[in-house]
């Protein structure tokens, strides 16, 4: 989604390096410390609101069931309609986690998830060519902002595994190609073995010319399914062979405000899933091909980070369910935009990228729940904020600003994908198609 990567000339970076010496690192450290202190203070003032670990509780129960009564894994309900919907392999992972005391498990998940935010920024900037103090300054600055985005706050509140999965994928994709890293891509496959959406990275890797990496990801994914069949055969049969994983309604209300996917947008506009499904299927094919194709073009033109970020955004858009906390992929987006601003050669371009970064942060930020000056956990950020709370029965009767308010994340995602597609088209200007396809013809 951004126009920068390893292949760009770094002359402008050299000019910026001198500006980052001296005061920059202490200021960035102070900003990050302030963001963390605000989070801890909010946690102390509002116990139970900032962290609830609801989804982690589901994971923990599923792990216990997988160890003791595996036949109940996909019939058990925490509450009516609240079931375990991840893969059998994921249940085995959670079974290991369920061996820990509940208090230890929930705080361990929180600490690891917060660490994952800065780790993701660090890896992203490293893949963009940032080194030493410059990388640290930008990591602390972007990490401070990312902590206070609504998707990150929600993921922490729910005890979601999303941040850890993203950290695994980003770490895998940022590994250098040099050396004997035959296993590169396996992290993507393992992540897809827990939640299926990362499967979109496999066709992206193939189109980007990373065939060995795509094969490693595929092999790892298949291995997770085999492990599930070995240890949880009945649950695996239900998950894979009865179409259980194909029913979006198993994970919640498709039309919910918190679902920020194209399917949810169309469902709310059309008045129900039945009317929306045919349009969504056709639109998903188009958006998927466009997004993955643009991601591959960006990768082949020396912008691999922009490529896999574009691929991730495409997955969020075409997935039937993309809860608000799934949009934690906004973290590497912010890193890309800040990197582009620092790298920009002219003041106009620099301020343009900074404005884009500020706009993205504003749209996805965790704003106060009400304009009362109280610092409290924000369940929805700006979703539904412009016109106040929306009763559930109004979701199929939206009009005017309500359409924007209820679809804010997905519409912003569409705009970012359009930006990435334009960047890919610009990279292809004047190039014959034969040159683009030559790596496949000669492989």
pLDDT of 163-207, one tens digit each? 999 999 999 999 988 767 889 999 999 999 999 999 999 999 999
Query: What pLDDT score was predicted for residue 284?
Result: 97
pLDDT at 380 over 70: no
pLDDT at 441 over 50: no
Query: What pLDDT score was predicted for residue 249?
Result: 63
Give me the residues paired with residue 149 across strands: 365
Average pLDDT over residues 391-411: 83
Q: Classify 179 as helix, strand or coil.
A: coil
pLDDT at 443 over 60: no
Angle (CA) 134-18-26 rounded to 5° is: 55
pTM for this entry? 0.90
Percentage of residues in the chain with pLDDT exceeding 70?
Answer: 86
Give Cα 1 to chain centroid, integer Å: 14
The residue ranking higher by pLDDT, 334 or 430, is 334
Nearest to 91 by CA among 225, 282, 268: 225
- The model's pLDDT over 281-316, given as tens digits with 9 standing for 90+, comes to 999 999 999 999 999 999 999 999 999 999 999 999
Q: Which residues contact 277 (CB under 8 A, 6 or more apart)?
A: 263
Query: What pLDDT score was predicted for residue 246?
Result: 78
Distance from C-alpha of 44 to C-alpha of 129, rounded to nearest angstrom? 39
Distance from C-alpha of 380 to C-alpha of 124, rounded to nearest angstrom? 27
* DSSP, residue by residue, 117-135: HHHHHHHHHHHTT--HHHH
Query: What pLDDT score was predicted for residue 372?
Result: 44
Lowest mean pLDDT among 77-91, 125-139, 314-328, 383-397: 383-397
Provide the mean pLDDT of the chain: 88
Average pLDDT over residues 351-359: 96
Query: What pLDDT score was predicted for residue 5?
Result: 44
Query: What pLDDT score was predicted for residue 80?
Result: 84
Q: Which residues contact 209 (CB under 8 A, 6 or more apart)?
A: 296, 299, 300, 439, 440
pLDDT at 106 over 50: yes
Query: What pLDDT score was predicted for residue 10?
Result: 46
Query: What pLDDT score was predicted for residue 439?
Result: 52
Nearest to 191 by CA among 365, 70, 311: 311
Nearest to 300 by CA among 182, 405, 411, 210: 210
Distance from C-alpha of 339 to C-alpha of 124, rounded to nearest angstrom? 10
Angle (CA) 425-431-434 rounded to 5° is: 115
Query: What pLDDT score was predicted for residue 17?
Result: 46
Average pLDDT over residues 57-83: 93
- The model's pLDDT over 214-258, given as tens digits with 9 standing for 90+, comes to 999 999 999 999 999 999 999 999 999 987 877 766 777 888 888
- Domain positions in the chain are 11-442
CB 354 within 8 A of CB 189: no
Query: What pLDDT score was predicted for residue 12?
Result: 43
Lowest mean pLDDT among 45-49, 347-351, 378-382: 378-382
Average pLDDT over residues 360-375: 74
Average pLDDT over residues 340-360: 93
Query: What pLDDT score was predicted for residue 11?
Result: 43
Q: Classify 316 as helix, strand or coil.
A: helix
Q: Which band of pLDDT confidence, cut at 50, 70 and 90, is reported for residue 18?
A: very low
pLDDT at 389 over 60: no
């Amino acid at each position: 989604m951004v126009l920068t990567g390893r292949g760009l000339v770094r002359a402008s970076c050299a000019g910026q390096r001198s500006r980052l010496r001296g005061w920059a690192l202490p200021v960035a450290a102070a900003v990050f410390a302030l963001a963390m202190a605000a989070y801890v203070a909010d946690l102390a003032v509002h116990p139970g609101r900032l962290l609830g670990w609801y989804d982690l509780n589901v994971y923990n129960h599923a792990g216990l069931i997988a160890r003791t009564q595996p036949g109940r894994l996909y019939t058990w309900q925490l509450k009516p309609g609240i079931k375990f919907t991840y893969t059998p392999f994921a249940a085995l992972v959670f079974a290991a986690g369920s061996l820990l005391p509940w208090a230890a498990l929930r705080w361990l998940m929180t600490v690891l998830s917060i660490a994952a935010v800065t780790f993701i920024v660090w890896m992203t900037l490293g893949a963009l060519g940032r080194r030493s103090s410059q990388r640290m300054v930008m990591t602390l600055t972007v990490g401070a902002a990312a902590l206070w985005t609504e998707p990150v706050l929600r993921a922490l509140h729910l005890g979601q595994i999303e941040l850890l999965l993203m950290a695994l994928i980003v770490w895998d994709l940022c590994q250098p190609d040099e050396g004997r890293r035959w296993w590169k891509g396996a992290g993507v496959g393992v992540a897809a073995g827990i939640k299926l959406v990362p499967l979109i990275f496999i066709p992206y890797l193939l189109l980007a010319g990373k065939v060995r990496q795509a094969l490693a990801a595929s092999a790892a994914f298949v291995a997770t399914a085999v492990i599930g069949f070995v240890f949880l055969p009945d649950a695996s049969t239900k998950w894979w062979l009865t179409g259980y994983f194909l029913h979006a309604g198993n994970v919640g209300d498709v039309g919910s405000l918190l679902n920020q996917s194209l399917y949810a947008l169309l469902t709310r506009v059309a008045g129900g899933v039945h009317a929306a499904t045919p349009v969504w299927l056709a639109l998903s094919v188009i958006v998927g091909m466009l997004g993955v194709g643009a991601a591959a073009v960006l990768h082949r033109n020396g912008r691999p980070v922009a490529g896999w970020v574009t691929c991730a955004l495409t997955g969020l858009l075409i997935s039937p369910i993309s809860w608000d906390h799934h949009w934690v992929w906004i973290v590497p987006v912010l890193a890309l935009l800040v990197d582009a601003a620092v790298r920009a050669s002219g003041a106009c371009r620099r301020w343009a990228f900074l404005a884009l970064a500020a706009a993205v942060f504003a749209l996805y930020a965790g704003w106060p729940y009400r304009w009362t000056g109280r610092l409290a956990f924000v369940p929805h950020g700006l979703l539904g904020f412009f016109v106040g709370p929306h009763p559930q029965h109004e979701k199929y009767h939206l009009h005017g600003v309500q359409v924007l308010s209820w679809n804010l994340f997905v519409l912003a995602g569409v705009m970012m994908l359009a930006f990435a597609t334009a960047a890919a088209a610009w990279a292809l200007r004047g190039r014959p198609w034969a040159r683009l396809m030559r790596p496949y013809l000669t492989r």
